[in-house]
Amino acid sequence: MNKLKKVFLLIIALVAIILPSTTAYAISGPLWDSNTVPTSRQKDRLLDNADLLTNEEEADILAKLDAASQKYNSNIVIVTVDDYRDYGSYGSDPQGFADDYFDYNGFGSDYNESGLLFMLSMEDRSWAFSTSGTAIDVFTDYGQDELIDTMLPYLSDGRYYDAFDHFISATDRYYSAYANGNAIDVNNDPKTAKEILGYIPLSLIIGLILALIPVLAMKSQLDTVHMKPNAAGYQSHQGLNMRIHEDRFIRSHVSHTPRPQSSSSGYSGSRGGYHGGSSVHHSSSGHSHGGSHGHF
């Protein structure tokens, strides 16, 4: 009986030692099965590996990602990890990791390879966009810069559900603009009705200040003026002095100076200068992607 107890305790001890290492391996292991691009989508459109959302929030965000993907015929994906550098050679930079996660999990197998992926890595607080197919043209370099600027306040405050919800909602504006033949870009950044209304109070205040400046200046010049008792007080006593003045036309000279032409590109965003359109690179699988990355 004592031998059985010892054997039983030994088995428990071995399980206690092996189980944590197995769990750690599962968490830090690769997020895709192989280095080949599958012919079908392998994962849900949301992977919260960093556990930033509650179960209810995950279900809500996933449902919204699925609905938006079907609406725009483009896989819209969100993935969070503790540290993208835990994934071997694929962790060389957040952009490369985002591209490979999209490719090796088969997100390009639907909708003619069109898709947008947003990735968060919490260890170094990095983010990355990866675009593919039609989404490369929908989300230009300028458009990505604008989109992340609207998400950063939520990310910096740790409001990840709000950031992801805003990300999904904002895609409607980008796809709508692209469908109308004008992707959001350097020289085409249509504002929403809410954004336009937000400028009205500021415009009124600036206009009031500009109108008051000349009025107050004219008023200050009249402070030394006093009413005269009769009309004679307003009469000038210097008299009237008239002289003959004659103008003669001699010659004319006309010179032409080219008007400087303003450039139609060269927007300088918060992460670099953009000249319109989308820059494209190739992932480790050889597929073309657009994208950008940074820190929050």
What is the pLDDT, as a whole number, of residue 186?
86
**One-character DSSP codes across 198-243:** HHHHHHHHHHHHHHHHHHHHHHHHTTT----SSGGGG--SS-----
pLDDT confidence tier of residue 32, bands split at 50, 70 and 90: confident
CATH no., domain 52-191+280-295: 3.10.310.50
Domain residue spans of the chain = 52-191+280-295
- The whole-angstrom distance between residue 148's C-alpha and the CA centroid of its chain comes to 3
In terms of Cα–Cα distance, which of 135, 40, 64, 130 is closest to 94? 130
Please give the residue that has the higher pLDDT: either 267 or 140.
Answer: 140
Residue 126 three-state SS: strand
Residue 226: how many other CB atoms lie within 10 Å: 6
pLDDT tens-place string over residues 216-258 = 666 666 655 666 666 666 565 565 566 666 666 666 555 555 4
pLDDT confidence tier of residue 207, bands split at 50, 70 and 90: low
Most confident of 15-24, 69-78, 262-271: 69-78
**Can you tell me the mean pLDDT for 137-166?**
97
Tokens matching residue 111: 């909708």
78, amino acid identity: I
What is the pLDDT, as a whole number, of residue 75?
98
What is the pLDDT, as a whole number, of residue 188?
63
pLDDT at position 17 over 90:
no
